[in-house]
Structure 1
Amino acid sequence: MRGRKVFVTLLVMTLALLASPMWAQSNITTGEVLGTVKDAEGGVLPGATVELRNVDTGLVRRTVTNAQGAFRFEFVPVGTYEIRAELSGFRPEVKQGIAVSLGTSVRVEFTLNVGTLAEEVTVTAAAPLVETTRPDVANAVGEIQIANLPLNGRDFLDFIALTPQSTVDDLGRAHIGGMRGIQNNFNIDGANAQSTFFGEERGGTRPAFTFSQGAIKEFQVIPSSYNVQFGNASGGIINAITKSGTNDFKLEGWYYFRDESMMEDFKKPPAATVAPQKRAFEQHQFGLSVGGPFIKDKLHYFLSYDGQRLDRPLALEFRNFPAGREADFEAKTGLRLADESFRTITQTNDDDVILGKVDWQVSSSLLATFRHNYSNYEGQNATSDSITTGVSNNGLERNKFNSSVLNLNAVLGGNAFNELILQYAKEERPRMANNTSIPEVAISSDAFFGRNNFLPNNLIEERTQIADNFSYYLEKHGIKAGFNVDLVSYDDYFFRYQGGRYFYRSWNDFFNNKPSQYIQSFSDYDGRVKFDTNYYSGYVQDEWKPSPHLTITAGVRYDFQDNPKPEETNPKFPNTGKIPDDKNNWAPRVGFAWDPFGEGKTVVRGGFGYFYDNTPTLLLANAMLTNGIRVVRVTLNCTSSQPCPTFPNTFPSLGSLPVSTPDLFVFAPGYENPKTKRFSIGIEQELGGNYAVGGEFIWSYTKHLERLLDLNLVPVGYTEFGTHYYNPTLRNYQDFGRIGQFTDDAESRYWAVVLKARKRWADRWMFDASYTYSKWRDNNSNERTVSLGTYGAGDDQLNIMDNWGPGDYDLTHKFVLSAVVLLPFDIQLSTIATVRSGYPYTPTDGRDLNNDTYTGDRAWWNGVHYGRNSFRQPYYRNVDLRLSKIFRFGASYELEIIGEAFNLFDNSNFRTSITQMVNYDRSRGVASLNPNFGRSNIAGSPRQYQVGLKFRL
């Protein structure tokens, strides 16, 4: 309630500000156009009228040059413009073909000759290739690339991989500049497009797409932004805008198809006995977009729909199942083995995305835009892709969200500008279990069946946002300021282990009723927690031009994540009632851009600054749920002092347990959000002929990264290789089992050298190429783990620096090339080529070397204790190709036939999951070197083809 009152107050204040000239924004959804008007002798011409007109929408803006002959248009919507300058006594000059892209600053210079107003001069011009006033580097993906580059799916976010310093992991998370995937920030149409619960884009990574590729006009990735308007991201700012209608009616439809017959066979990895069998599937992607005017030059609309239907079989197979025990399995579980495994099931990935947008040019000084996006995803048997997951252990996944955004773009006089952004968004992520009749069973890693331990669950995330950005320009200064308020409510139903979970080391142990661990949770609150987390940000920045060829920006930003206060406190562990607020997140930044020769073709740019990240509220919810009161989670080790039930029995109530020492999750006192300091310096040079090259050096250091620490581990000595050795029967807190503390003592360091070359679209072709050499080192790379023992728990938890090594997604080398070429006869060719280093991995040991009861200890063999991420996967190579032919009918109809090949050269891209270096036979107490360690056993995706059609009107 308090947050809603704050929101209403800020909204009223902001609307009042629109009535008087104040300040305006840095271009998060638009660009800017600026320049000077001079006479033939080079003298400045004050009082000249400059008119800007969008050739597609008819938007017109006018201004008058100041005493220095300078003019500026802020909040210029992306598009192509015609600009006219005139002054009595001089011939007017018109420059056509000026392209304004997202976030760019386009400089246009006029030279007027003496003459009459009737002697107008028209020239075709182009925006400068090198931006000489921008301190940071943005990697832009324009409309031509979005529409024509090969894309394996229709998710425009896959183009993030074109960015230097970036990589995208198998789960679809982007890691930019040596940062975790949760350290990025997503904005679409100026509004927050995040799920702050999970720390990822709204909708997550399971849907094929959540915005239609056909609805995205441009987007950019900013790895190092010294503009203080951007925040809550130490990684990358992913900033996109959607398409708008124009004065011309336009319609486009598309259809893409592929199935297993358009896919080559997998290659056999060296450590595999047979080559993987390709899975039958059918994928259909289809959609339509339409746009045009309600009122020419005044009111425009744009609508789009995109859909996918994907069915693919998954052949299930429990590993090492003992022959002849099928009847025993059915009698024990109530499940027919033939129904549960050793069969093929169907997985689906079905998506529907609808976007509607209206742009209203209220006046020459006010543009109003409303956009709504609806996304709906459903995946049957989508909880797990593992062949060892039985049908009963899988589930139905859904994700649905609506996002409404209102943008008011106002010009408040010749020097003042304002943008107001309002958003309401609601996302739901229900996940249903296939079976709830028996507890979950894990047979080592050979089989999983029964009710999945985290199903069913649901999350409802509801967001109300107001953002306002202002600018006021003086002779040499541009003062920018703004604020952002996100009020977010969460309803999290996540009653994990409510149905119980048995763990067995082997099938033999399962049939003989010898579990090694049992977990069950209890709750009088239905395993649910509701809470609000509000996010407040403000910034102020000065853009100073001490000379026409030097721009210096200096500003400060403040971010505050207002965390909830838990409703319960466990009296036996008072810290359960505390989630710290980090209130000192001041982020000063300074940047510069210098044109050393004053020709607009060279820029030296750089900066230094501080950046903060939010903590995903998934961690907060876990701490408030698993506090020993709201949810009581008990882990039993099936010993005489901790006896386990007999499968399939569960404990009917907490009071029926032989012992009750629940697990807890808490936050460390004084916990702080991640803090990064970053420095970069680079140079970019236009070569002529629409070519440019550049290089950049980037360095960053991040501290206060989150990790999980078990507070109930008691060290009693040291191993022979120097790590702590524990006694699991001892506890620091006798009333509890495992105590997972979210701690902020992890850190990372990163540096990179980036070389780039590009050619913008001209003469029917373009390309963009980059090479990155980088080093990413940290002592914990987890994203947002809430499970003790799932990430790095086998390492020395009490000495985190012992875990220092390459980050999980460290890439020493990365080269990426994209190109689009229009050939004769309306044939178009485009490609994306990527070569990169393999990811690192850690050699593990089958023994619990430090006796902490967690698996995954780093390997110890022949006197060597191997380091974290001390081995690497093989190199990755991939080339995608798109070839199309356009057929024209009449004056306005086009049909494009498309063929695409992914992994054109059928590179094997083998990798290994055999990361256990040392095997251990518990029955004999004998350790041995794994002869298959590090050998490739997983094949990358083989060459695939896709066909498509596009119809345009």
Structure 2
Amino acid sequence: MLFIAIADVASAQNTSQVFGRVTDGSGGVLPGATVTLSSSALLEPRVAVTSETGTYEFSGLPIGTYTVKFELTGFQTLVREGLQLQGGFNAQVNGELSVGGLEENVVVTGMNPIVDIRSTTQGTRFNVQELQAIPSTRDVFQVLTQTPGITSDRQNVGGTHNGQQIGMFSRGAANGQGRWFVDGVDRNDIANGRPFVVDFNSVEEVQVSTGGADVTMQTPGVFVNVVTKSGSDAFRGATWFFRTDRALGSTNVTDDLRRAGANSGNPLVHTNDYGGQFGGAIKRGRAWFWATYGMQNVRLGVLNYYKPDAGCAAVQANPLAYSFSDVIDCLNINKQDVPALGSKFNLRPFAGNLVTVANSFGQRVETIRGADDLHPTFETTNKMTFMKLSDSTYDLGPRYWNTGIWDPSWKFSDQHTFSDRWLADVSFGHHCWCDSIVPQTDELRLVQPMLELTTGTWGRSWSDSSIMLVTNNTVDMATTYFLPGQWGGDHSLKAGFKYGHFGEVYDRSYSGHAQAVFNSQRPLPIFSTPFTARVIRDYITPAFLDQNSVYLQDTYSRKRFTAILGVRWDRQVDNVAAISVRAHAFQGQPTIDGTLFNLFPAIDVPTVRAGVVWNTVAPRLGLTYDLTGDARNVIKGSYAIYFDQRSAGQLSKALNPTGSARIDLGWSDLNGDSVVQVNEINQSLIRSVTGFDPANPAGLVSANRVDPNVTAPRTNEIVVGFGKEMAGDFGFNVSYVWRRYDNFIWNDTIGISSSDYSAVQFTPPSSACPSGARCETVTYDVPNVTLPSAYTVTNRPDFRHVYNGLELVVRKRSSRGWMLNASYSYNTTIEHYDSAAAYEDPTNIVRLNGFQYAPSAGIGGGGGSNLAGIPVNAKWVAKLNGSYRLPYEVNVAATADVRQGYPFAQGVNIASRPNRAPAIAVLLDALGEQRFPDFATMDLRLERAFRVRGMKVLPSFDMFNVFNANTVMGRRTNQNAANANSVFGILAPRIARIGMMVNF
């Protein structure tokens, strides 16, 4: 009998297997036994007949609770009930039949395997019961931070960062190599890591993989697939409202923190989370639908960001002179709205076939994006909204396909089951990030921003207007086949093909045509010492990537031994399409010495192709051995090679002369208005240059080069571990993980090596250093020759990262009224520069070589999400979440997160170096030696279910940051600056949420 599943099957990660062997009481195999699998997740039961080796397999199973029935003439019927399947799990369910009549039933309940003997993939899964039971901010990305070993770049307390895609880091991999899918649709933005929106209540399960050799995983980063709900023959739905409010909160800012710069903390003012969903049958047994709408309103106070009115100006000037409540009342509120709209339609046109059409629209709309102490006024922030067709002169595509409403996502799939052994699926997915990030008013697009190098503070306006259109179009074909009794064992085969066309169109214009850059040493006020005129060219870059992928995998099982043999091939090639770029507003005007500004003329460039094709072959090997033959004590090991995915146009952009280009020129503020006029610019004094050749600004051929032999960055991984299942759905797993990252890509300046630099010393003047700053003598390097702007994109020699990690995971599945997930991870990722060929500028190498690798490491600057560039690295991480059901349907739950503090990378800023060398921050310590305080937080949840006229009513109370911790999350690291060591971020204070959900 053929099988149809309501859930989507877009990749092997989405669905599960049930497999096993049928034997008699003596252990002899029973071929010809009938195995029936049934569940409300299936439209009709699925039936298989055991092979000559007594084995069976059901593939492509959706999430749900299943019953397995074993029947054979002359034996009693065995029924195993309550099998809970999560996405991507392979459940071994064996049947031992006793002699008797078919009408005699033996019923076994509550069997739920913990250890997957057919997989070495590591990670975790959150089903809908867990998502709803544990305390969370009702944001998918925040839930992911409960995955063992994962660290993140921010902490979401009660909804402070809802709608933002949290940067997640695991096992030394870069955040940009994570992969994100919703129902198998690729929603990855390799270059930018920007958020996608999915309504929390529409989620059926979240699957997170961090490694372990599955052949469907191309890259070494975190792999996330979000499975959404679908309709069924039973009509069902829900509505909800949740409110987090400052009236239910506390204050965690002490006087010491106020004196250190945390004058207001990061208080959450309130959040509203409301919406509804429903679904059911259009025609029972034939067609179904599901629809959902959700909205989250987040109102957040930003540390040291004040209302622009006269009454609050005095508070901003001297906040310590006012009470804490007065300071809080003067905070300017950042408003974020996160709407999500989705629908899904399933059609069974004929037996064995399922067609799915799914669509969603989602967006994060933010009013004062980027607000922090470095962007302290309304004018220096921007706003994010959805894109309109009129926003760009570039063709942005059809309305509602790419633009005109919130970010769209579409999926079309067709799944067919040919037999109980063979299933195939084909799907097409489309997703677009269609964002418009612009200054607060149209008038500010003409206002020139100011930048103070010493403190990183911006003034007067936001730097640019950006239209970003990032599209993913993918075609996936996948198939699974069960081949029993061959070569001494059973083979579970899977194969797949994927074609992806990824686009990235940026239309960026810069406010006021230039940036006025200052270098005002303390005790002078900021913006008092003009330093350089930063002139940047507006540009449009339509970049693209085409990728073809093929994978094959055979899971071979023989008695207690399983071998997983796989290989994948990926072909990647990119280009930048033809484009015309307008001339800069300064072009042709006289400069300070009378010569005409001639650096950014209008230019028409044809399509640019780097001509480099990456063809990578990645082997995968996994081995498991069942020590006791009952899937309760399993040794596992795996080896894998991963290769990075290119971003759109990654190589070809280097050859595109119309891309991002800027030049820092001499500037004399002749009229003292702090605005760069073209007649104040000295074209002959070039401090630094990026992205073009000033000697040939109109050239159609870039001076940059792409090494024709450049290859994809590579990761080698070895994992060994042991998994044990104990009584009561309880088990643990311990693993050792080793990784080596190498073959990195860098821009190698043409004609320059580390031998072209010389060391010099610098001691900041005491006047430049506030009390408590570390103004030590530092050594940095300067080039002995003028640095050219041209570079070669190539692989970085003698440079590698090595990761070693130990991970313990304890898991109790939800049963008998309680569940538990706990983990402890020890991680270390060391950065190695094995020779002088691994770097050009020797500055800081002594502080980096042989020490911790920390993504985003560096001297902090303002970020688009109220963040600075904090190094993310914790050697140890412990996590716990669980729930317990009390009498009268009362549920209590908790989560806890404890980790080592991230590195505090203090440094001395060198604003000016000769020979066009850029500014640099000289680290005072080896990275990771100085750290922020260890981090710990806990959240609690209380929920009581009531049943009213067929409805389930769930009032709830959540409390976040229960102990009101005030851990410092970030300080300004420049020591020779007025804001040295100033606190710019602390953990948001304790706050509570009340809510109500009604399921019907």
Structure 2-normalised TM-score?
0.79
1:543 paired to 2:558: no
C-alpha distance in 1 between matches for 2:225 and 2:243: 29
Pick from 942, 946, 955 the counterpart of residue 887 of structure 1.
946
Amino acid at match of 1:840: P
Q: 1:387 to 1:344 in 2, by over 3 A?
A: farther
Pick from 414, 424, 428 the counterpart of residue 430 of structure 2. 424
Q: Which residue of 1 aligns with 2:690?
A: 663
> Whole-Å Cα distance in 1 between the matches of residues 367 and 204 of structure 2?
32
Secondary structure of 1:146's counterpart equals helix
Shift of 1:563: 1.1
Tell me, in whole angstroms, the C-alpha distance in 2 between the residues paired with 1:388 and 1:697.
44
Q: Please give the per-residue CA displacement for 1:760-815, whole angstroms capped at 9, x wherever unaligned.
A: 111100101011111122369xxxxxxxxxxx998638999758534232211111
Q: Does 2:958 match 1:900?
A: yes
1:843 aligned onto 2:906:
yes
Following superposition, the deviation at residue 631 of structure 1 comes to 5.9
Q: Provide the C-alpha distance between the structure 1 equivalents of 2:684 and 2:187, rounded to a whole number of angstroms.
A: 48
1:159 aligns with one of 134, 143, 147: 143
Which of 491, 498, 502 is 1:477 aligned to?
491
Evaluate the alpha carbon distance shift between residue 703 and residue 489 of structure 1 in structure 2; reply closer, same or farther with a 3 A threshold: same
Tell me the amino acid that sits aligned with residue 819 of structure 2.
M
Measure, in 2, the Cα distance between the counterparts of 1:740 and 1:838.
Answer: 37
Q: Per-residue CA shift, 1:877-906, capped at 9, x if unaligned?
A: 00011111122223x122211111111011
Equivalent residue number for residue 750 of structure 1: 803
Rounded Cα–Cα distance in structure 1 between residues aligned with 2:269 and 2:989: 14
1:648 aligned counterpart, secondary structure? coil
| CA apart distance, 1:521 | 2.4
| CA deviation map 1:245-294 (0-9, x unaligned) | 23322221111112222221122274641763255723211111212223
For residue 630 of structure 2, the aligned residue among 599, 603, 615 is 599
1:636 aligns with 2:665: yes
> What amino acid sits opposite 1:98 in the alignment?
L
Q: Which residue of 1 aligns with 2:742?
A: 703
* Deviations 1:302-344, CA, capped at 9 Å, x for gaps: 221110122345586699xxxxx99xxxxxxxxxxxxxxx975
Q: Is the 8 A contact 1:795 1:803 kept in 2?
A: no
1:34 is paired with a residue whose SS is strand
Q: In structure 1, what is the equivalent of residue 570 of structure 2?
A: 559
Deviates more, 1:582-591 or 1:715-724: 715-724
Q: Deviations over 1:441-467 (max 9, x none)?
A: 1234374223422x2111112322111
AA aligned to 1:915 is: T
Kindly report which structure 2 residues correspond to 1:392-411, keeping only aligned pairs within 5 A, or say none.
392-399=379-386, 400-411=406-417
2:499 alignment partner AA:
V
Work out whether residues 495 and 631 of structure 1, in 8 Å CA contact, stay in contact via their aligned partners in 2: no
Task: Report what 2:852 is aligned to.
Answer: 805
For 2:504 and 2:373, how far apart are their aligned partners in 1?
Answer: 30
Q: Which residue pairs with 1:613 in the alignment? A: 644
- CA distance in 2 between counterparts of 1:272 and 1:216 reads 41
Task: Report the AA paired with residue 537 of structure 1.
Answer: S
2:545 is aligned to 533
Change (3 A) 1:937 1:822: same
CA contact (8 A) 2:446 2:511 kept: no
Counterpart in 1 of 2:535? 520
Q: Counterpart of 1:29?
A: 14
What are the ranges of 5 or more consecutive residues in structure 2 without an aligned counterpart?
Answer: 4-8, 155-164, 308-312, 315-328, 387-405, 581-598, 693-703, 762-776, 834-838, 855-870
Match of 2:57 among 55, 68, 72: 72
Residue 138 of structure 1 and its aligned partner are, at CA, apart by 3.0
What aligned pairs does 1:103-182 form with structure 2 within 5 A after superposition? 103-152=88-137, 154-170=138-154, 172-182=166-176
Alignment equivalent of 2:504, drawn from 479, 490, 499: 490
Paired residue secondary structure (1:214): helix
Q: Which residue of 2 aligns with 1:13?
A: none
- Distance in structure 1 (CA, Å) of the matches to 2:814 and 2:527: 70
Cα distance, 1:500–1:794 mapped onto 2, change above 3 Å: farther
In 2, are the aligned partners of 1:595 and 1:601 still within 8 Å (CA)?
A: yes
Is residue 950 from structure 1 mapped to residue 997 from structure 2 by the alignment?
yes
State how far apart, in whole Å, the 2-side matches of 1:793 and 1:645 are. 38
Rounded Cα–Cα distance in structure 2 between residues aligned with 1:652 and 1:562: 44
Tell me how far apart the structure 1 counterparts of residues 917 and 680 of structure 2 sit (CA, whole Å): 26
**Residues 799 and 103 of structure 1, relative CA distance in 2, 3 Å threshold:** same
Task: Give distance in 2, aligned partners of 1:709 and 1:849.
Answer: 22
Distance 2:419 2:964 in 1: 59
Taking a change above 3 Å as real, the CA distance of residues 26 and 832 of structure 1, as seen in their structure-2 partners, is same
Deviation of the 1:494 alpha carbon: 2.2
Q: For each residue in 1:668-692, what CA deviation from the matched residue of structure 2 results, as whole angstroms up to 9, or x when unmatched?
A: 5244332100001000111212211
**Structure-1 separation of matches of 2:172 and 2:429:** 31
Q: Look up the equivalent residue of 1:273 and give its one-letter code.
A: R
Instruction: Identify the residue that residue 456 of structure 1 maps to in structure 2.
Output: 465
- Secondary structure of 1:528 counterpart: strand
**Counterpart position of 1:439:** 448
Give the alignment partner of residue 583 of structure 1, picking from 606, 614, 617. 614
Task: Check if 1:354 corresponds to 2:409.
Answer: no
> Measured at CA, do residues 846 and 315 of structure 1 come closer, stay the same or move farther in structure 2, by a change above 3 Å?
closer
Secondary structure at the residue paired with 1:563?
strand
Which residue in the other structure is 1:99 paired with?
84
Cα displacement (A) at 1:645: 10
Partners of 1:309 and 1:881 lie apart in 2 by 22
Once the two structures are TM-superposed, the CA of residue 497 in structure 1 deviates from its matched residue by 6.4
Name the aligned partner's letter for residue 494 of structure 2.
K
Q: Distance in 1 between matches of 2:994 and 2:116?
A: 39
For 1:716 and 1:227, how far apart are their aligned partners in 2? 45
**Aligned counterpart, 2:365:** 378
Residues 560-592 of structure 1: per-residue CA shift (max 9 Å, x gap): 2211157599999x9x96646352421111111
Q: What letter matches 2:424 in structure 1?
A: N
Q: 1:255 aligns with which of 229, 235, 241?
A: 241
- Corresponding residue for residue 939 of structure 1: 986
Report the secondary structure of 2:986's partner residue.
Answer: coil
Q: Give 1:951 shift.
A: 1.1
Q: Percent identity?
A: 19
Describe the shift of the 1:571–1:911 C-alpha distance in structure 2 as closer, same or farther (beyond 3 A): closer
In structure 2, relative to structure 1, the CA distance for the partners of 1:533 and 1:102 (3 Å cut) is same
CA contact (8 A) 1:913 1:934 kept: yes
Q: Mark the CA change 1:632 to 1:769 in structure 2 (over 3 Å): closer, same or farther.
A: closer
The TM-score normalised by the length of structure 1 is 0.82
Helix, strand or coil at the partner of 2:614:
coil
Judge conservation of contact 1:384–1:394 (CA < 8 Å) in 2. Answer: yes
Question: Could you list the runs of 5+ residues in structure 1 that have no partner in the other structure?
Answer: 1-17, 19-23, 320-324, 327-341, 781-791, 861-865, 921-929
CA distance in 1, matches of 2:917, 2:525: 20
8 A contact 1:314–1:387 mirrored in 2: no
Name 2:921's counterpart in structure 1. Answer: 857
- 1:301 corresponds to: 289
CA distance in 1, matches of 2:380, 2:981: 30
Q: Distance in 2 between matches of 1:360 and 1:97?
A: 28
Deviates further, 286-295 or 759-768: 286-295
Rounded Cα–Cα distance in structure 1 between residues aligned with 2:426 and 2:255: 55
